[in-house]
Structure 1
Amino acid sequence: MLLPAKAEVARHLEQYRAWERLLLVAPADHTVRGNFENAGYTLCVLMGKRCAREAVDAAELYLRDEAPAAALSSMTVAHGTRGSQLPQEPQGRGAGRAVGRHP
């Protein structure tokens, strides 16, 4: 399994925290909220999580030196390996088509 670079994870976690602080100061600012949500989404993609809170927790755990493997044991949703609760990608003819995802 490919692991995200720790420097990238640290950089995106820092950005997430910065936007989080700004959002607490100005909760009605739509630009700040959008950037905060984008930072959370990026962490979700990097860490293979479905919500930003889980992604932040996984990123913090991954960045700790003593437990890098523990943080990655649950980072399986994005890669479709063990522990994944999402359906596997289709194989064979028609793979990759978004059939039945949207009405």
Structure 2
Amino acid sequence: MLLPDKTRVRSLLIRFRELERRMLADPMHHGTRARFEDVAYTLCILMGQRTARDAVVHAERYLKAPAARLVRFTLRK
């Protein structure tokens, strides 16, 4: 199984958190909502998860995992 680039995952996670804060501040802003949903979808695809919450949890675990543990990370489901 191919693993996503950690730099890309980190960047998306930072963007997700930033947009999440903006959404909480102004939930009716359509542009922010659209960008938030795009980033959430991309995280779901990269992390192989169905929900944004699960994708974020997996992304955080993936970024913390040392290289030696990545083999086990890919086998966990």
What TM bracket, shorter-length normalisation? 0.7 to 0.9
1:17–1:3: structure 2 CA closer, same or farther, 3 Å change rule? same
Deviation at 1:68, TM superposition (A): 3.7
Provide the secondary structure at the position in 2 that maps to 1:8: helix
Distance 1:36 1:65 in 2: 26
Provide the secondary structure at the position in 2 that maps to 1:49: coil
More helix as a share of residues: 2
State the one-letter code of the partner of 1:18. Answer: E
Q: If the length of structure 1 is used for normalisation, what is the TM-score?
A: 0.66
Distance 2:73 2:12 in 1: 16
Gaps of 5+ in 1: 75-103
The root-mean-square deviation of aligned C-alpha atoms, in Å, is 1.5
Distance 1:4 1:43 in 2: 10
Aligned residue pairs, count: 74
Deviation at 1:36, TM superposition (A): 0.6
Gaps of 5+ in 2: none
Q: Sequence identity of aligned pairs in percent?
A: 43
Aligned partner of 1:50 in structure 2 is 50
2:16 aligned with 1:16, yes or no?
yes
Is contact 1:12-1:39 (8 Å) kept?
yes
Deviation at 1:70, TM superposition (A): 5.1
Q: Is the radius of gyration larger for structure 1 or structure 2?
A: 1
Q: If the length of structure 2 is used for normalisation, what is the TM-score?
A: 0.86
Aligned partner of 1:79 in structure 2 is none
